Each structure stands twice: as structure tokens, then as C-alpha cells.
Amino acid sequence: MLNKQQIRHCLDTFEEMFPEAECELTHSNPFELLVAVVLSAQATDALVNKVTPQLFEKYKKPEDYIAVPLEELQDDIKRIGLYRNKAKNIKKLSQTLVEKFNGEVPPTKKELESLAGVGRKTANVVASVAFDEPAIAVDTHVERVSKRLAFCRWKDSVLEVEKTLMRKIPVEEWSVTHHRMIFFGRYHCKAQRPNCEECPLLFLCREGQKRMKKKEKTS
């Protein structure tokens, strides 16, 4: 596991590599962000961004999703995986927003998690991006980077990864670190072919060092 000084070095490196890191899901208000994040479960942001421009042109508010037949909404998002379930959840969460929250997206994680299709990760993203609430949402990239760099243990659950990161990273850096770790994992420390050769953190990364040794043996 990395010590405090090593973690600080990693955070500074993430910032140097990806100073402009931010949420890549296209949206113009909290409701659009909420729908986009629900759609992005087990799908890439790039794919979601291909679907949402037309979707957000057609559906402006929760009432619009409530009014449309389920089959029509499913058809509008069918390019995205799990579209049947996601359409049901979007209609359900829209209903809840109208009935309980006056048609507005609530700002707290607890209230967000009461909505259909919204788990801890989605709630963290929406609270952080839309309402500037400090949060670290652990997606596949954040989890992979955290474990490879030994911010946490390989056996840790997603919740344990989140709690460890919250403990080891200053609260004022939670949200921005979340975005930088996503960019680091998406564009550099990729799942299949991490760019270990050019990684400025290789000297801290046991996983990367193992991969490099393996490469040397096979070359």
C-alpha cells in the first residue's frame, strides 16, 4: 500500500497529466445529467453521448418521460445496453421526481439513492457534478487504478475502495481526483493494454513493474 507521500505524488501526477479532466457525459442541467449517468451503467460515455442529443431534444423534463409509452422510450435508447431496464427506471425515477421532489433533481446523495436505477456511484456522480458536493464515485476505471497503484487492496469491494480513497485523499480534492482517475484509467492505465512503458508512476506501481518484467521475458 502506498504511503501518504506517495499518494500525494500520484495525485499531483494525475493533475499534471489531465488538468482539464471533467465529466464527459453531455448534459446541460442536473436532470439531463441524472438520465445520462443512469444510461451509462455498463456502457461507455461515448455511446451515451451519441444517443442523448436526440433524447434530450425530445424529452425536456420528467413529465415528458412519464407521458411516453414505455416501448417508445425503449426504442429511443435501444442502442445502449440494458435499454429495457433503463427505460423502466427512467420512467420510475421521473415519476418519483414529480411526486416527491417537485420535478427537481434532489441535491443529496441519500435522496438521489431513493430514485429507481440510482445506486451509490450514480448518486455520487450527480451530487458531485451537478451540486458540487464532495464525492468519489468508484467506477471501473477508478477501481482499477486504485488497485493497480495500491491505494487500496486487490480484494477490496467497491465500497471499501471508495471509503479508502475518502480517507486518504483530502476532501476538497475528492471530486476532481475522481475525474482525473477516470481519465488516467480510460486513456492511460487501460484495462487490457496499460501504457506502463511511458507511465510516470511506474516506479511506484508493482503491477506495472510485474507487467514490464513479463514483457522483457517474452521479448
Fold classification of 4-20+137-213 (topology level): Endonuclease Iii, domain 2 (1.10.1670)
Whole-angstrom distance, CA of residue 186 vs CA of residue 120: 21
At residue 9, what are phi and psi to the nearest 5 degrees?
-65, -40
Residue extents of the structural domains in the chain: 4-20+137-213, 30-131
Mean of the pLDDT values across residues 199-219? 90
Active site residue 156: no
CATH dotted code for 30-131 = 1.10.340.30
Q: Using pLDDT thresholds of 50, 70 and 90, give the confidence band for residue 215.
A: confident
Res 47: pLDDT: 97
pTM over 0.85: yes
Whole-angstrom distance, CA of residue 86 vs CA of residue 128: 22
Whole-angstrom distance, CA of residue 142 vs CA of residue 77: 26
Mean of the pLDDT values across residues 179-203? 96
Q: Which of 86, 91, 109, 121 is catalytic?
A: 121
- Residue 199 marked ligand-binding: yes
Whole-angstrom distance, CA of residue 52 vs CA of residue 28: 11
Res. 213: pLDDT tops 80: yes
Segment 105-138, tens digit of pLDDT: 999 999 999 999 999 999 999 999 999 999 999 9
- Residue 23 marked ligand-binding: no
Res 71: pLDDT: 98
Q: What is the SS3 assignment for 171?
A: helix
Res 219: pLDDT: 65
Mean of the pLDDT values across residues 194-206? 95
Q: Using pLDDT thresholds of 50, 70 and 90, give the confidence band for residue 26.
A: very high
Share of the chain above pLDDT 90, in %: 97
Res 48: pLDDT: 97
Q: Which of 76, 86, 91, 139 is catalytic?
A: 139
105 contacts 130 by C-beta, under 8 angstroms: yes
Active site residue 121: yes
Segment 38-60, tens digit of pLDDT: 999 989 999 999 999 999 999 99
Res. 162: pLDDT tops 80: yes
Helices (H), the chain: 4-17, 30-39, 45-58, 62-67, 70-76, 83-100, 109-112, 120-131, 140-148, 158-168, 174-187, 206-218
Distance of CA 180 to the CA centre of its chain: 11
Nine-digit cell string for 117 = 436505477
CA dihedral over 134, 135, 141, 143, signed as positive or negative? positive
Nine-digit cell string for 63 = 413529465
